[in-house]
A = this chain, B = another copy of it.
């Protein structure tokens, strides 16, 4: 739930005067997203989303994110396209914040995805990776292995307040992942936060991907590992291998995984679970009094991590070798 920043009538008018969007017909705060303030903006010309970037997004990273969306949209990926103002700028300032207008994407986020959704997300993720191949921007993943010890340290020894034993378990995981973290996997632009709220569907058709504000350069298979964590577990904590199989098959229908990516998948899935456990843990321990946002439960990802630790190989996530004849059969 968002909208942290209130926009005054004058500020809005002044900002929109720099654009060529026609008369404003509607402007409503959207109760979604936890990083930024988002407004639904209807003008005589079209529907848009106006985003104010709150302090969690580094302003220096915005050109990377906006350039990436433009790049991906040009290559046919359904994602928000930043709208340039009369002077050709996509990035402006509103109410003291960096601000951007992007095109509106139709579709609904599914809260309880089925295997069909997982297959579609897998395929879209691979398309995103392919479309990002020739994107010239680079942005190191600020929330990968190198940052996790620091994140854990900023929890300041209070992890056991959340669950007894969490501190020791997390320290052991950090040590082990530092030793076995895979290197040299195929890299490129990854979304890095492709949770269910960031993918829209109309009926069963995937209609768009949003929220590129964690996008970075990292191992492509790590992005798939994040999606397995985000989409393929049931509310009771169990991994749904049917959904995993659908997601990986969807991914491989566009971009088959390399053998070293398949081998690394269990480790990458542990890392992804640890990354979300740690950021949630820090948020959980740092809720300001009177906060308008409820933090997400870090233990959900601690439990997922427990599952990944017992996984022996990618087949347990539903991975199967790409059948050589699959493409010709499908198109027959």
Contacts and interface: CB of A to CB of B under 8 A. Distances in A.
A25 interface: yes
Contacts of A112: 8-10
Interface in A123-168: none
Interface in A1-52: 1-3, 6, 8-10, 23-32, 40, 42
A55 interface: no
A290 B28 CA distance: 25
B24 A202 contact: yes
Contact of A292 (B9, B203, B294): B294
A28, A32, A294 pick with most chain B CB within 10 angstroms: A28
Most buried by B among A23, A42, A112: A42
Interface string A214-240: 000000000000000000000000000
Contacts of A40: 28, 30, 40
A25 B106 contact: yes
A323 interface: no
A26 B23 CA distance: 22
Contacts of A202: 23-25
A110 interface: yes
A107 interface: yes
A26 B107 contact: yes
Interface in A251-301: 290, 292-294
A42 B106 contact: yes
A32 B202 CA distance: 25
Contacts of A25: 106-107, 202
Tell which of A8, A30, A40, A108 has the most Cβ of chain B within 10 Å: A108
A219 to B, nearest CB: 32
A1 B1 CA distance: 9
A56 interface: no
Contact of A3 (B1, B9, B10, B107): B1
A35 to B, nearest CB: 14
Interface of A: 1-3, 6, 8-10, 23-32, 40, 42, 104, 106-108, 110-112, 202-203, 290, 292-294
Given A1-B1, A10-B112, A30-B30, 8 more contacts: A1-B3, A1-B31, A8-B111, A8-B112, A23-B202, A24-B108, A26-B104, A290-B294
